[in-house]
Amino acid sequence: MSENPLHLLMNPQSIATVGASNNWQKMGTMQSLSILKDGFPGKFYPIHPKEKVVLGHRAYRSVESLPEAPDLAMLVVPTNQVISLFESFGKIGTKRAIVISAGFKEIGAAGKNLENKLTEVAQKYGMRFLGPNCMGIINSQLPLNLTVSVLDKRPGYLGMATQSGTYITQTLDYLRKRGIRFSKAISVGNEANIDIVDALEYLGEDKSTRAIILYIEGLRRGRHFIEVAQKITPHKPVLAQYVGGSASGKRASKSHTGAMAGPDILYDGIFKQAGIIRLHSIEDLYAHGWTLATQPPLKGNRLGVVTHSGGPGTAISHTADRGGMIVPPFSEGLQKRIRQHIAVHASSANPVDMTFTTDTQLLTQTIPQLVMESKEVDGVIIHGPMGSSWIKETYPHVGNLIDISLDKLVEFLDSMDLSEMVSLPWKYEIPLAISCFSGRDDNYVKAYEDHDIPAFDSPEKAARAMVSLLRHKEIRDRKAIVAPKLPRKNKKAAVLIQEAMEKGQKALDEYQGKQILSAYGIPVTREILVQTEKEAAMAAETIGFPVVVKACCWQIMHKTGEGLLALNVQTQADVQKRFRSIRKAVGSDVPILIQEQIAGSREFVIGMTRFPGFGPCLLFGLGGIFTEAFADTTFRAAPLSLTEAREMIADIRAKKLTGPFRKMPAVDKAKLCSAIQTVGFIGLLHPEIAEIDLNPVLIEDDRPVVVDALMLLSPFP
């Protein structure tokens, strides 16, 4: 396996920049100042056609005049200069580059052609590059900062790959104020060469990165993305925000980076398949990512809550409970130990509600330590630690009762030794999150954040972050994904499809579709295709009453409500009557399908459709005539392991229908999983099939049976 191209790009020993000058307002100058001011230990070569000295360093008039081939070239120049500069760097042997310049694929066809030329030059010289239209990188361990903002002096633990450069440059001040620090951060821009999948793989390999966050507008290598993520997520958390699923989000992302967006429900399923925790705001992405990067892993779902106010404690409990956590009452022994420290009217149960108190040490250390050492919880949230900010707030009222100035009080609080308080998570290997309405101007909040304990400005936010820790526990506990072996292509199925396409069919009729399903072992109804009333009556006798009578023609995609379907037909005479009425409704002598009547009231749908970047994707959900109304479905990309198929079944809201339900036995999940998996195989083996819609899949006793099948054909397989 070849080395990830980002290893060298993120760790250069020398950098050449084109676009830096002594004008501080230029982006190239700002980025070069970040290289110099934030401590890059390697060589720096500015290239400028006129200036002899740039930012205190000797400037070179051209790429060819450099004393050596730099490990990394950074281009912040007008678009029309990029190709020739790339050619020059390629000739001298530079192998990595970052193209900050915009004006490529994101502007339309002309820009796309230019981007293709850039890629061709890179291939010619064996170069790999980020961009174009990106905002640089951060490697806090080197250190190396190629953004326009100031890098925190302390290395971090949170890795980020983003299709928007803003989120690694304009946000650095925002993150610094919350104690969040990047280990590595990568802006991929248009992804003409190195993409977000490469970045994910690199961050997964990076030992300094403890958790990974992704900002995604669309994926071009969707299947590879899943495979890479599945190798990382069992041992390193990955969280993602996807914004291309809505109509306006898709339109904005296309104009932004040229990304190919997919439906929101598809990405929901893809992230679950990949073991990625999906979030819906950039604020949560940073905060939850930092929580997972800094806190010990959650070992269970029991949450302890310590607060001095009932409202926040209730809000935390409610939010955590909705996320799958429990806030269990403490044992009598633990409550007895807690009651020794709190007021008589306070609650020693869980949450511990101390009610109003000015004893912050009790709130932040004494009670949490008792809770953690009891081993009755797996995680703890504390609401309300306040010190210096509370004094500043109340001093105007109480100052005349205190024989000490405000400045002296704040100075005393700021000098407090809080080391034992902030050591609790690692002493007991239990994650801790803080909820407080004060910010870093408070000595307690600052101490927590400076020691990598996340502090949130609302109770619900702290609880949601703890729920993300639970999601990763579930991902760690997930059964191993064993890649399935693709079966051989069935010759009979291939011939059926070829013959249909030669006849100009845009779809297979139901009978043809079921023959293909049957060829691959998917259970279908017993049925006979007939042309006359006599054949219909004989077929019904052969199958056994009651039967279903249907029109069967590839042009008829849906039969319900059109008078083209008769259920529960009981006699030969009725079969012949239905035969005549269906042909009359169609208006032609279409073939008629006589089908066994399946006795089952649980209906599901299995489908396959193709999405750019992902190939064939599978759908499973609640079926029947209410499929669209309830929209209770989930997606995954093929090929699907049986573990992933079982996760699809457990993913829908109506999953209880697959267990014992109203005197009906549990569905044979092994057979249902096999059917879902096999539909994916069919999609992979037969690219001529554009879509598959098996609806309904009825459950007869415990056995899934495909009752209706629609397969659309593609003219361009």
Mean pLDDT of 102-121: 93
Q: Which residue in 696, 677, 692, 698 sits closest to 520, CA to CA?
A: 677
**Residue 454: is the preceding peptide bond cis (ω within 30°)?**
no
DSSP-assigned beta bridge partners for residue 712:
507, 691
What is the distance between the alpha carbons of residues 348 and 344, in angstroms, rounded to a whole number? Answer: 9
Other Cβ atoms closer than 10 A to 368: 24
Q: Are residues 364 and 416 in the same domain?
A: yes
Q: What is the pLDDT of residues 344-395, one digit of tens each?
A: 999 999 999 998 777 889 999 999 999 999 999 999 999 999 888 888 888 8
Q: Are residues 615 and 471 in the same domain?
A: no
Q: Are residues 101 and 233 in the same domain?
A: yes
| Residue 1 within any structural domain of the chain | no
The secondary element (H helix, E strand) that includes residue 540 is helix 533-543
HSE, side-chain direction, 13 A CA sphere, residue 162: 27
Angle at 446 between CA 441 and CA 448, to 5 degrees: 150
Task: Tell me if residue 684 falls in helix, strand or coil.
Answer: helix
| Residue 134 within any structural domain of the chain | yes
Asked if 331 contacts 374 with a C-beta cutoff of 8 angstroms, the reply is: yes
The more confidently predicted of residues 356 and 497 is 497
Domain containing residue 560: CATH number = 3.30.1490.20
Domain containing residue 679: CATH number = 3.30.470.20
Q: How many residues are listed for the chain in this entry? A: 717
Q: Give the burial class of 518: count Cβ atoms within 10 A of its Cβ; 0-12 exposed, 13-18 middle, 19 or more buried.
A: middle
Percent of the chain residues past pLDDT 70, beyond the cut? 97
**Given this model, what pLDDT does residue 376 score?**
98
Which of 460, 476, 492 lies at the terminal end of a domain, its last residue?
476
Q: What is the pLDDT of residues 170-194, one digit of tens each?
A: 999 999 999 999 999 999 999 999 9
Output the CA torsion 56→62→67→70 (10° steps): 90
**pLDDT band of 260, cuts 50, 70, 90:** very low
Q: Are residues 430 and 492 in the same domain?
A: no
**Residue 41: is the preceding peptide bond cis (ω within 30°)?**
no
Asked if 688 contacts 713 with a C-beta cutoff of 8 angstroms, the reply is: yes
- Amino acid, res. 111: G
Q: Are residues 135 and 277 in the same domain?
A: yes
Asked if 325 contacts 380 with a C-beta cutoff of 8 angstroms, the reply is: no
| Residue 459 within any structural domain of the chain | yes
What is the distance between the alpha carbons of residues 694 and 672, in angstroms, rounded to a whole number? Answer: 12
Per-residue pLDDT at 258 exceeds 70: no
**Given this model, what pLDDT does residue 253 score?**
43
- The pTM for the full model equals 0.93
The more confidently predicted of residues 244 and 83 is 83
Angle at 508 between CA 504 and CA 510, to 5 degrees: 150
Q: Which residue in 632, 628, 602, 606 sits closest to 619, CA to CA?
A: 606
What is the distance between the alpha carbons of residues 540 and 587, in angstroms, rounded to a whole number? Answer: 23
Mean pLDDT of 314-327: 97
Tokens 């002296």 -> residue: 408
Terminal CA-CA length for the chain: 30
Tokens 């926040």 -> residue: 312
**Given this model, what pLDDT does residue 257 score?**
38
What is the distance between the alpha carbons of residues 440 and 230, in angstroms, rounded to a whole number? Answer: 37
What is the distance between the alpha carbons of residues 717 and 688, in angstroms, rounded to a whole number? Answer: 5
Residue 609 token pair? 């459709």
The secondary element (H helix, E strand) that includes residue 425 is helix 424-428
Pairing of strands 158-162, 303-307: unpaired
What is the distance between the alpha carbons of residues 568 and 597, in angstroms, rounded to a whole number? Answer: 6
Domain containing residue 36: CATH number = 3.40.50.261
Q: What is the pLDDT of residues 654-710, one digit of tens each?
A: 999 999 998 899 999 999 999 999 999 999 999 999 999 999 999 999 999 999 999
| Residue 581 within any structural domain of the chain | yes
The secondary element (H helix, E strand) that includes residue 548 is strand 547-551
Task: Tell me if residue 137 falls in helix, strand or coil.
Answer: strand
Q: Are residues 511 and 534 in the same domain?
A: no
Which of 571, 595, 619 lies at the terminal end of a domain, its last residue?
595
Asked if 377 contacts 424 with a C-beta cutoff of 8 angstroms, the reply is: no
Per-residue pLDDT at 250 exceeds 70: no
**Given this model, what pLDDT does residue 390 score?**
84
Q: How many domains does the chain have?
A: 4
**Residue 132: is the preceding peptide bond cis (ω within 30°)?**
yes
Per-residue exposure over 306-330, b if at least 16 CB sit within 10 Å of its own CB, e if not: bbbbeebbbbbbebbeebebebeeb
Q: Are residues 242 and 382 in the same domain?
A: no
**Given this model, what pLDDT does residue 560 score?**
65
Q: Are residues 76 and 58 in the same domain?
A: yes
| Residue 76 within any structural domain of the chain | yes
Q: Are residues 612 and 678 in the same domain?
A: yes
Mean pLDDT of 328-351: 95
What is the distance between the alpha carbons of residues 208 and 537, in angstroms, rounded to a whole number? Answer: 73
Q: What is the pLDDT of residues 640-659, one digit of tens each?
A: 999 999 999 999 999 999 99
| Sheet (strand 182-187) strand order | 144-145, 137-139, 182-187, 158-162, 211-216, 238-242, 277-279
The whole domain housing 331 covers: 295-476
Q: Are residues 505 and 653 in the same domain?
A: yes
Q: What is the pLDDT of residues 39-71, one digit of tens each?
A: 999 999 999 999 999 999 999 999 999 999 999
Q: Are residues 563 and 614 in the same domain?
A: no
Mean pLDDT of 557-574: 85
Q: Are residues 202 and 221 in the same domain?
A: yes
**pLDDT band of 716, cuts 50, 70, 90:** low
Other Cβ atoms closer than 10 A to 580: 12
| Residue 515 within any structural domain of the chain | yes
What is the secondary structure of 345-393 as a DSSP string? Answer: TSB-SSSEE--S---HHIIIIIHHHHHHHTT--SEEEEE---SHHHHHH
Which of 565, 595, 625 lies at the terminal end of a domain, its last residue?
595
Phi, psi dihedral angles at 74 (to 5 degrees): -120, 125
Instruction: Please state, in angstroms and as integers, the Cα–Cα distance from residue 662 to each residue in 121, 601, 657, 665, following that order.
Output: 66, 11, 9, 8
Instruction: Please state, in angstroms and as integers, the Cα–Cα distance from residue 398 to each residue in 415, 444, 555, 630, following that order.
Output: 22, 21, 84, 59
Tokens 């990598």 -> residue: 452
